[in-house]
Structure 1
């Protein structure tokens, strides 16, 4: 399953949730809890987040939080999953909107869209995706691998890239590296380090050209 196939809340059957939302009201309540967690994380970072803070910000009882999440780590992990899902869902949109005709332009469009996520998606800037893990081998637990597979599919269909496990792995590597570099470039709100972003664009093109020459 591609990241682009998942919902904006959490995928059905996710191991992150104690109880799956089965009605629209329950889904809205879950989304509200994640929105509240994102707002708090933007303010103080995910290390200091507590379930009580999530409940207070969402205007919900602590019991409502525990209905879905066993602890604060599960909240952070679920928010990271949602952010990654939204990122993947916007990959296709960003390439279509850019009018890219070459894979290099497509890669730049993905970088631009990811930068926009850092600037506008609540909680995205503060979460370090590699630091939270639900401890399972569920299909949706390796988010960077899912992102890599999504991008590999998009570039195969849009730009004629070969169907290659090596390319999927390469995109996963770029997703991991991109998160590290772009998170650092946005570590201070309103003061983006454009030099780091420029170097990441160069690295993406150079690395992908090398991989393409070998597959």
Structure 2
């Protein structure tokens, strides 16, 4: 998660970091959380373990992230933001390029992301999702469906009708 994600309310932070030093500390904690998640699994993702990995006090971590669920939610928000940014890039590319195999382009792009986002896989397959993250995932899927709609429109492969507009809201 970037500090901008935190500022936009993507994650319930106890306190929003305002100074560069505080934003850097939060980013350090989240990188440490991801390392723990990838190396040891979601079970090991505790505030105490993450603070130790980040080499900060638990109190410092608690200034921003009140509990384990907030850590999970923050990591998930970062993954969603990166995946949605990739979709936005694909929409822009579709507006200026012609793709022989649009489905293949999308599948290749997202398969590449899932191969490199080890924390994302560890979180989703580790059964550690919070209710807030599950709700955020439903919204994320709607935004991704809308991204596919925008790609189809950019490639002039579909009409922007009610059926296409509603596909992501079923």
> Structure 1 length normalisation: TM-score?
0.62
Q: State whether residues 72 and 133 of structure 2, in contact with CA within 8 Å, keep that contact through their aligned partners in structure 1.
A: no
Give CA-to-partner distance per residue, 1:22-77, whole Å, 9 cap, x none.
22222222222111111111112213310111111111111121111111011011
The partner residue of 2:131 within 111, 130, 133 is 133
Q: State whether residues 29 and 50 of structure 2, in contact with CA within 8 Å, keep that contact through their aligned partners in structure 1.
A: yes
Q: Which one has a larger percent helix, Structure 1 or Structure 2?
A: 2
The more displaced of 157-166 and 12-21 is 157-166
Match of 1:13 in 2: 8
DSSP-derived class of the 2:122 partner? coil
Q: Shift of the alpha carbon at 1:78?
A: 1.1
Q: Which has the higher contact order (CA 8 A, sep 6+)?
A: 2
- Structure 1 residues 18 and 160, CA, compared in 2 at 3 Å: closer, same or farther? farther
CA distance in 1, matches of 2:146, 2:97: 20
Match of 1:114 in 2: 110
Q: How many residues align?
A: 164
CA distance in 2, matches of 1:21, 1:169: 38
1:44 aligns with 2:56: no
Q: State whether residues 8 and 86 of structure 1, in contact with CA within 8 Å, keep that contact through their aligned partners in structure 2.
A: no
> Structure 2 length normalisation: TM-score?
0.76
DSSP-derived class of the 1:22 partner? coil
Pairs within 5 Å for 1:1-215 = 8-9=2-3, 10-14=5-9, 15-94=11-90, 96=93, 101-102=98-99, 105-128=101-124, 131-134=129-132, 142-164=139-161, 166-167=163-164, 170=167
Structure 1: runs of 5+ lacking an equivalent: 1-6, 174-215
Q: In angstroms, what is the RMSD of aligned CA positions?
A: 3.3
Q: State whether residues 133 and 141 of structure 1, in contact with CA within 8 Å, keep that contact through their aligned partners in structure 2.
A: no
- Structure 1 residues 76 and 24, CA, compared in 2 at 3 Å: closer, same or farther? same
CA distance in 1, matches of 2:152, 2:14: 36
